[in-house]
């Protein structure tokens, strides 16, 4: 069996780079009024002559295609064809506009764009971000601890104007503290434009436990004292000695009794990592 081999190769230029998150995609950084020059090569062992097209527009026949890129209309999908019209390969060129007013960017809001949280140190965490009503934005979400330790993430799901993605770091050890941060990258593509947002964190920095569970109130045998009880949330590590929680308790007393006899009517409790000042859980209440 004879296999044909085709490859689109781009000469390295300043401000132009391959986007690993999307096949056959190149990002061109535009940070001045001058056009960037991009040289695209179409190589094929079986074809000596190729012709270039962008959609139905012919761009000439040559092994190399020189592009001048500045505006959004200059990007897009470029294909090289054999002399009989067969598509040999393609390259999607996107523009990363550096000097764009904030309100015209894909990520139009300033500050923190992606918010991540984790319920325990199991390695499972979720991230979310808000989007506009524009459905022409493609989001690609990636996470990793290092170049050789990528983290698996599901495809983003949309609920109204919010996207959510669930990730699982299988290398997380629940018996020891982290020594390397997690980096997440959100890629956004809108027509021929490209932007990204990057943030890094330790799991302990984004921890927000589920509320405590199985709340209860009991009296001692002599009825002189009231005991309140609760348990760790089921989603937290069972090995509490490694990652214990601390609790914040609010008690409501029965106002109908005398001051000396006030009994506990209800109470609420929330939890937080004992050793790191992360986020308190939501309240869980017994009434």
Residues 19, 46, single domain; the answer is yes
Distances 78 to 33, 89, 91 between C-alpha atoms, Å: 23, 9, 5
The count of residues in the chain is: 287
Q: Is the pTM of this model over 0.85?
A: no
Number of domains into which the chain is organized: 3
d(CA 217, CA 181): 41
Read off the pLDDT of residues 166-191 as tens digits, 9 standing for 90 and up. Answer: 999 877 666 567 788 999 999 999 98
What integer pLDDT is reported at residue 45 of this predicted model? Answer: 67
Residues 200, 221, single domain; the answer is no
For residue 200, the domain's CATH number is: 2.60.40.10
**Domain membership flag for residue 280:** yes
Residues 77, 147, single domain; the answer is no
**Domain membership flag for residue 21:** yes
Q: What angle do CA 117, 282, 212 make, to 5 degrees?
A: 100
Residues 115, 199, single domain; the answer is yes
CB atoms within 10 A of CB 230: 19
Residues 199, 246, single domain; the answer is no
**Domain membership flag for residue 1:** no
Residues 36, 109, single domain; the answer is no
**Domain membership flag for residue 39:** yes
Residues 194, 228, single domain; the answer is no
Residues 89, 14, single domain; the answer is yes
**Domain membership flag for residue 55:** yes
Residues 199, 108, single domain; the answer is yes
Given a contact cutoff of 8 angstroms between Cβ atoms, the answer to whether 113 and 197 are in contact is yes
C-alpha distance across the termini of the chain, in Å = 75
Using a 10 angstrom Cβ sphere, with 0-12 exposed, 13-18 middle and 19 or more buried, the burial of residue 37 is: middle
* Residue where a domain terminates, one of 189, 205, 221: 205
**Domain membership flag for residue 18:** yes
Residues 218, 189, single domain; the answer is no
Given a contact cutoff of 8 angstroms between Cβ atoms, the answer to whether 280 and 272 are in contact is yes
Residue 56 Rama label (left phi>0; alpha psi -120 to 50; beta): alpha
**Domain membership flag for residue 81:** yes
**Domain membership flag for residue 110:** yes
Among candidate residues 92, 87, 80, the one with its CA nearest the CA of residue 16: 92
Using a 10 angstrom Cβ sphere, with 0-12 exposed, 13-18 middle and 19 or more buried, the burial of residue 120 is: buried
pLDDT tens, residue order, the chain (287 aa): 233 333 344 444 447 888 999 998 989 988 877 788 888 888 676 666 789 999 888 888 888 888 888 888 889 999 988 888 888 888 899 999 887 787 788 887 767 899 999 998 888 899 999 987 666 899 999 999 877 778 999 999 999 889 999 999 877 666 567 788 999 999 999 989 999 999 999 988 999 999 999 999 988 888 788 889 999 999 887 665 678 899 999 998 876 655 544 577 889 999 999 988 899 999 999 98
Residues 10, 71, single domain; the answer is yes
Residues 79, 117, single domain; the answer is no
3-state secondary structure the chain: CCCCCEEEEECCCCCEEECCCCCCEEEEEECCCCCEEEEEEEEECCCCCCEEEECCEEEEECCEEEEEECCHHHCEEEEEECCCCCEEEEEEEEEEECCCCHHHCCCCCCCCCCEEEECCCCCEEEEEEECCCCCCEEEEEEEEEECCEEEEECCCEEECCEEEEEEECCCCCCCCCCCCCEEEEEEEEECCEEEEEEEEECHHHCECCCCCEEEEEEECCCCCCEEEEEECCCCCCCCCCCCCEEEEEEEEECCCCCHHHCCEEEEEEEEEECCCCCCCCCCEEEC
* Residue where a domain terminates, one of 51, 81, 97: 97
What integer pLDDT is reported at residue 175 of this predicted model? Answer: 58
d(CA 8, CA 52): 12
d(CA 97, CA 190): 12
d(CA 237, CA 230): 16
The boundaries of the domain holding residue 146 are 102-205
* Residue where a domain terminates, one of 97, 121, 141: 97
């Amino acid at each position: 069996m004879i296999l044909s081999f085709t490859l689109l190769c781009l000469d390295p230029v300043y401000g132009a780079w391959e986007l690993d998150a999307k096949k056959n995609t190149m990002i061109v950084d535009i940070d001045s009024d001058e056009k960037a020059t991009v040289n695209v090569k179409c190589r094929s062992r079986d074809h000596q002559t190729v012709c270039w097209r962008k959609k139905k527009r012919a761009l000439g026949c040559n092994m190399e295609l020189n592009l001048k890129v500045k505006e959004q209309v200059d990007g897009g999908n470029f294909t090289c064809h054999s002399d009989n019209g067969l598509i040999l390969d393609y390259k999607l060129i996107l523009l990363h506009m550096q000097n764009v007013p904030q309100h015209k960017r894909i990520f139009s809001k300033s500050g923190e764009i992606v918010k991540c949280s984790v319920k325990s140190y199991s390695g499972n965490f979720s991230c979310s971000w808000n989007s506009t009503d524009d459905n022409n934005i493609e989001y690609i979400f990636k996470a990793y601890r290092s170049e050789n330790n990528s983290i698996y993430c599901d495809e983003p799901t949309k609920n109204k104007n919010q996207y959510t993605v669930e990730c699982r770091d299988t290398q997380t050890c629940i018996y020891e503290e982290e020594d390397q941060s997690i980096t997440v990258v959100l890629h956004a593509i809108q027509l021929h434009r490209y932007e990204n947002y990057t943030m890094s964190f330790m799991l302990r920095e984004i921890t927000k436990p589920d509320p405590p569970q199985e709340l209860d109130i009991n009296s001692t045998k002599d009825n002189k004292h009231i005991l309140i009880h609760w348990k760790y949330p089921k989603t937290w590590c069972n090995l509490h000695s490694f990652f214990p929680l601390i609790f914040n308790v609010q008690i409501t007393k029965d106002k109908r009794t005398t001051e000396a006899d006030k009994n506990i009517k209800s109470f609420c409790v929330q939890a937080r990592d004992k050793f790191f000042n992360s986020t308190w859980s939501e309240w869980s209440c017994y009434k």
